[in-house]
Every structure is written in structure tokens, then in C-alpha cells.
Amino acid sequence: MSISEVYAQYERIREKNSAEEQRRLNEVLQKIPEFEEVDRKLKEQQRKRITNALNENISFEKQIEALRLAARGLLISSHFPADYLDPIYTCAVCHDTGSLDNGERCDCFKKRVLEDKLNDAKLLDENVSFEQFRLEIFDDEPIENGKSQRFMMKKAKQLSEKYAADFPACSSILLISGGIGLGKTYIAKCIMRRVIERGYTAAFYTAYRLFSIFHRHRLGEDVDLDPIMEVPLLIIDDIGTEPMTKNVTVEYFFDLLNERSSLHTIIITNLPFDEIFARYGERIHSRLMDKNASVKILLKGKDVRY
């Protein structure tokens, strides 16, 4: 998506919001005929204020405030919200322009560009959410220290829901480990959906696909790694299944964790924690195990997919 296309999106947003503002005004005028005269006087006083802006001896503030109070009173007495006719903005910071007063681009603009670059790394499964998380599919028989698989999944669900609710004020790394078919990917996608619902940007990559991108970058191809490095929440599934490629796997993985130290990354793996050390070495193992920067979820039990 080009920059001009992004600005075209803002134009469509403004048109949509403007149409809604007009619809609301028409609704109010139909139900409160006397509102039209108050609104006319208010706009007239606002125009006069602009026209006489350089004349310090003339003030229209009292008249404007009185008319605003009268307009709001009419709205409230007719069971409309007091702010029903206030301007509508999808982004209250830039007023749907994409730009700030200082000339910089608004965070919402940067978010749109980033999400466009991550278009093929979105969460597509509509059937995944904490609301649809079914604990009853997990065995309730004790398997370790008197704890059942269902009990462990309930704790994992609670921990992951808290991680999503606290985001971004949570640990930069969430490591989810366990055997095949225990619900690791499902938990991560539930977090991703909740984070997206809260207005943040997130991306989901399998390890194989992510390291394929890294390999192409290593070979000199024109690959943009910025979206991967900059997305607020990055989920990497099946770490440990990607090919071990010299000068790529360990090096790019470490660089990724390094670059994203102030952001958030969820790592999903079938590898036990000690095998992470054996496969990726001390530097990566230390980053993932750091108790000050990472939270771990270890799942055990039977494959629930069969």
C-alpha cells in the first residue's frame, strides 16, 4: 500500500464520519425543531469569533458557552447524549488526518502501514478465542503431583488471559512449551485475538516461514524485516522445527530477540527447555529463560486432537 493509498483511507474515514454527523443532526432536527435556531445562533457566534480574532476588545466566549449549554440542554431533555452532535473522529489524536500538528505522522498512520505490511501474517481463524476455550476437552485425571491436564490448562488459560489483559505492561517474552496437540498454538492465538481486540497490532508466523524469510534476507534478497522487528506482538509457532542453517538460524534468532527486547514476542515450541540450550546455544537460552523478561507456560498431558 502506497502512502497516497493510506491517505485515501483517511479521506474515506472522514467522509463516513461526516455522513454520520449529518445523519445525527437530521435526527435531532426532526425530533427537536427548536434546536435549529439554537444551532444557527451558535454557528453565527463562532464565525464572528473567527472574523474578530485579532480584536482583543471583542469576546464571544460567553455567548458561545451559553448557546452550547442551551443546545446540550435540548439534547438531554429529548433523551439524546449530551455529546451526540460532537465531531466524530476514529482517531481523536490526529482527527483522522494521519498527521500531527508538528508535521509528524500519527501513531494510527504508522499502525495502518505496519498492518498492511503484515497483511499475510494476520490471525485468520475466527474460531479461536478465550470465550471459546473449552477446558472440558482436557482429561481431569491426575497426571503429575495430583494435578490433571485440565487443571494445568485452566492455570495456563488464566496466565495467558492476564498476559493479554496486561499487554503491553507484561513480560517481553512468553515461552509456551509442551508436546504435540496440547493446545500451545491455541493459547497463543487466543492471546493474539484479545490483544488485537484491544487495539494493538500482532502477527503470527510459523518458525519455518519466518526463518525462510531470514534465509532470503541473508542471501541478499530485497526483504523488509522491519515489520517483523517492529510489530508490538509477534508470535512464532513451532520453534525448533525450522532447518538449522549456518549464519542464519541462531544469528537471526538472537538478533530478533535483541531487536525486540522492548516489544513482545511469544515463542511456541515442542522443545523441552534444556533442548533449547542444546539447539540454539547459551545466549538465546539465557534470553528465553530470563526470569525478569520472560514468562513460561509448560504444558503436559495427552494429545487432544485425537
262 pLDDT exceeds 80? yes
Residues 6+ apart with CB under 8 A from 134: none
Mean pLDDT of the 57-81 span: 88
Given CA atoms 197, 200, 206, 212 in this order, what sign does their dihedral have? positive
pLDDT value of position 304: 83
Measured CA to CA, the distance from residue 211 to residue 217 in angstroms comes to: 10
Is 143:298 a contact under the CB 8 Å cutoff?
no
Nearest Cα to 226, choosing from 86, 91, 110? Answer: 110
DSSP character at residue 237: E
Determine if the peptide bond prior to 168 is cis (ω within 30°).
Answer: yes
306 pLDDT exceeds 70? no
Residue type (1 letter), 54: L
pTM, 2 dp: 0.73
pLDDT tens per residue, range 202-251:
999 999 999 999 999 999 999 999 999 999 999 999 999 999 999 999 99
pLDDT bin (cut points 50, 70, 90) of residue 6 is confident
pLDDT value of position 145: 84
Longest Cα separation, the chain: 83
pLDDT bin (cut points 50, 70, 90) of residue 283 is very high
Count of CB atoms situated within 10 Å of the CB of 25: 15
pLDDT bin (cut points 50, 70, 90) of residue 1 is low
Is 162:154 a contact under the CB 8 Å cutoff?
no
More confident residue, 121 or 303: 303
Mean pLDDT of the 148-160 span: 94
As given in the structure block, the three cell numbers for residue 192 are 493474539
3-state SS, 145-179, equals CCEEHHHHHHHHHHHHHHHHHHCCCCCCEEEEEEC
Is 98:108 a contact under the CB 8 Å cutoff?
yes
Q: How is domain 118-299 classified at the architecture level of CATH?
A: 3-Layer(aba) Sandwich (3.40)
Taken as a whole, the chain contains a residue count of 306
257 pLDDT exceeds 90? yes
